[in-house]
Amino acid sequence: MAQMSPDAAPSRHALAADPLPALRRLRAAAPRVFGQLHALLLTSGLALHSPNFALLLRLASSSVPSLSRRLQLLLCSPLPPTSFLANSLLLAHLPSALPLYSLLFLASPPLLRPNEFTYPALLRASPPRTALALATHSLKFLGAGAASRDRVLGAALLDAFARCGRIASCRRVFDRIVQPDLPAWNALLTTYARRVRDSSCAGEAAEILELFARMVSSTVPPNEITLVTVVGACGELGALGHGLWAHAYALRHRLAVNCYVATALVEMYTRCGKMDLAEQVFAGVTDMDTRCYNAMLQGLAFHGHGRAALTLFDRMCAEGYPIDSVTVLAVMCACAHAGLVDEGRWLFDRMEIQFGVTPRIEHYGCMVDILGRAGQLDVAKKLIRGMDIPPNAAMYRSLIRACGIHGKLELGERTIKELMRLEPEHSGNYVLLSNFYVRMRLWEDAKKARKEMKAMGIDKSPGSSLLDIDGVLHEFLIGDKTHPASREMYAMVQEIEARLKESGHRPSTTAVMFNVEEEDKADALSYHSERLAIAFALIASSPGAPIRIIKNLRVCSDCHESTKLVSRVYGREIIMRDRTRFHHFRDGHCSCGDFW
């Protein structure tokens, strides 16, 4: 027997016998059929039952053309209008229910008062700004404790605040939920993860690990979404111990290591300096995709393995995986860090013709970086002038750094003017300007730049270094004396300096931005955050264990040189991640080849 289509009009006899099956089945009805159904509900008395009339309101959203007529249908029903009926009409209008919501609940005086069932579907169907306004309304109408009383509403509010990046609001809602379930935990963790991804904030990354520890100790088992968030935080902090534990937890509890989890693990291990484990995870992926390849390529680039990145890129092309803009940028960055100028230029020239990827500002910026590192500054400037899109500040900053490295004062000053015209109030530009003049040994110009910084209320971001020892994270700032072991740590700094001096090390004091006595400059260098981290690691870690440091700024030339010597004198491998790349120090050499 043939089945009737959900949109097919029922016969008059079928309607008269029982209109409810037709109401449940139909998604839309002609005005005549809708009128018949409405009349039958009224005459039969079925309209006096709220669930039956709610079915009619749902059908009205697609059968009655005028919003005012749909609203009139609700207000003139045989039943007094209720929030339940209003919510039924709202749900039928998703995702375009905002005008109806305003008419029902925001009129003066309001026609009805919303309840906890009004908001969940409405919040999820709305774009972030609208969802934020609705979430605020819900707290106004229902009170701050509504999320703790209704689990579904709590999860919807968490999701709304999470999509808008409102960590404080998200945390307030979460803390009011008596027994958070898995969606609530994941919504909160995702909010912190989004902040970490957007601003590389170590505080939020550490908070993710603390929340995960609380979650594991509760009765709520994590899932794959949780794992991706936590592993990402471990990568940001360089917390290898925590990352290994999270990976082991997933395997022990048989969580699915799908392509999303595998990509997060590859990113985490590369950002923690464990390329061998990243390669091991990558080799075991069964549902490989472009994102996973991109994660591995970015890791190889970050560690300066340019040739390995090119080999993997060739394999990716041979296996037929789609090449996107992230892929091309990762390979170009690998060429930049490895000094592979010809290979980088070849890919840049062929990316649109051969791979169908239109160059974006990031690709132009990377090409400028490749040329600048190789000393081809005139070619880099010509590339900027010939671009089809306006250059951005990052491109100018890259060129200025290259001018400082290669001693091109005139071109550097011209580029500084372009940068200041583009971003006259950006704090980082004044720091870059001061560093440029320091490198050129133009102390008065460097002083002038610093005075302008102070006049504008700009301070240079303090250098900080994170050190992971046995799963415990230690943070050090320049000249930091707040650590419990600071006395022993500073004694070790003095010992290190003495042994480096015996090995012939002389501080490169151009890294200090003050025109003071050379001895004072050398003292300032000794207390940079990464040196304090190394000193503490030599005291607190097991002999022969690798030292892993995450630094928030680019490592200065003298700290780079002294760390090479420490690796030789103390026989320790030191793996340092700064803002631009990884440095693997071993036996007096660095993997960057002094090119960073």
Indicate the helix (H) or strand (E) that contains 472.
strand 472-477
Indicate the helix (H) or strand (E) that contains 583.
strand 582-586
Q: What is the three-class DSSP state of 239? A: coil
What are 291-338's pLDDT values in tens digits?
Answer: 999 999 999 999 999 999 999 999 999 999 999 999 999 999 999 988
Higher pLDDT, 415 or 74: 415
For CATH 1.25.40, the residue range(s) in the chain are: 377-460
Mean pLDDT of 141-155: 83
Mean pLDDT of 490-502: 91
List the single range of 49-58, 147-156, 514-523, 528-537 with lowest mean pLDDT: 514-523
Distance CA 203, CA 199 (A): 11
pLDDT of residue 14 exceeding 80 = no
Range 377-460: architecture per CATH:
Alpha Horseshoe (1.25)
pLDDT of residue 517 exceeding 50 = no
Res 440: pLDDT: 82
Residue 6's pLDDT band (boundaries 50, 70, 90)? very low
Res 539: pLDDT: 94
What are 406-432's pLDDT values in tens digits?
Answer: 888 889 888 988 888 888 877 778 878
Using DSSP bridges, classify how beta strands 464-469 and 472-477 pair: parallel, antiparallel or unpaired. antiparallel
Res 265: pLDDT: 96
Res 290: pLDDT: 96
Residue 592's pLDDT band (boundaries 50, 70, 90)? confident
Mean pLDDT of 455-460: 68
Res 361: pLDDT: 94
Mean pLDDT of 521-541: 79
Mean pLDDT of 245-266: 91
Using DSSP bridges, classify how beta strands 574-577 and 547-551 pair: parallel, antiparallel or unpaired. parallel
pLDDT of residue 512 exceeding 80 = no
């207000």: which residue's tokens?
A: 75
pLDDT of residue 25 exceeding 80 = no
Mean pLDDT of 493-521: 65
Mean pLDDT of 350-374: 93
pLDDT of residue 510 exceeding 90 = no
Closest listed residue to residue 267, CA positions, set 347, 196, 188:
196
Res 9: pLDDT: 47
The sign of the dihedral angle between the CA atoms of 568, 570, 575, 581 is negative
Mean pLDDT of 2-23: 51
Residue 550's DSSP bridge partners are 466, 577
Rg (the chain; Cα; Å): 31
Distance CA 283, CA 277 (A): 10
Res 520: pLDDT: 37
Mean pLDDT of 29-36: 74
Residue 515's pLDDT band (boundaries 50, 70, 90)? very low
List the single range of 278-292, 395-409, 432-446 with lowest mean pLDDT: 432-446
Res 201: pLDDT: 64
pLDDT of residue 446 exceeding 60 = yes
Distance CA 585, CA 568 (A): 9
Return the beta strands (E) in 300-403 as ranges. Answer: none
pLDDT of residue 442 exceeding 70 = yes
Identity of the amino acid at 551: K
DSSP string, 434-462: HHHHHHTT-HHHHHHHHHHHHHTT--PPP
Indicate left, alpha or beta for 593 from its phi (over 0: left) and psi (-120 to 50: alpha).
left
| Structural tokens at position 592 | 């960057």
| Helix-then-strand count for the chain, H and E | 32, 6
Q: Is 286 exposed, middle or buried (0-12, 13-18, 19+ CB in 10 A)?
A: exposed
| Structural tokens at position 479 | 């000249």
Please, what is the average pLDDT of the chain?
84
Mean pLDDT of 85-109: 83
Asked if 531 contacts 496 with a C-beta cutoff of 8 angstroms, the reply is: yes
HSE at residue 417, side-chain half, CA atoms within 13 A, is 5
List the single range of 170-179, 302-311, 529-538 with lowest mean pLDDT: 170-179
pLDDT of residue 551 exceeding 60 = yes
CB atoms within 10 A of CB 292: 22
Residue 181's pLDDT band (boundaries 50, 70, 90)? confident
Res 200: pLDDT: 59
Q: What is the three-class DSSP state of 464? A: strand
Indicate left, alpha or beta for 471 from its phi (over 0: left) and psi (-120 to 50: alpha).
left
Mean pLDDT of 75-98: 82
pLDDT of residue 2 exceeding 60 = no
**pTM given for the model:** 0.77
List the single range of 348-352, 440-444, 563-567 with lowest mean pLDDT: 440-444
Identity of the amino acid at 99: P
Mean pLDDT of 81-95: 83
pLDDT of residue 165 exceeding 60 = yes
pLDDT of residue 575 exceeding 70 = yes
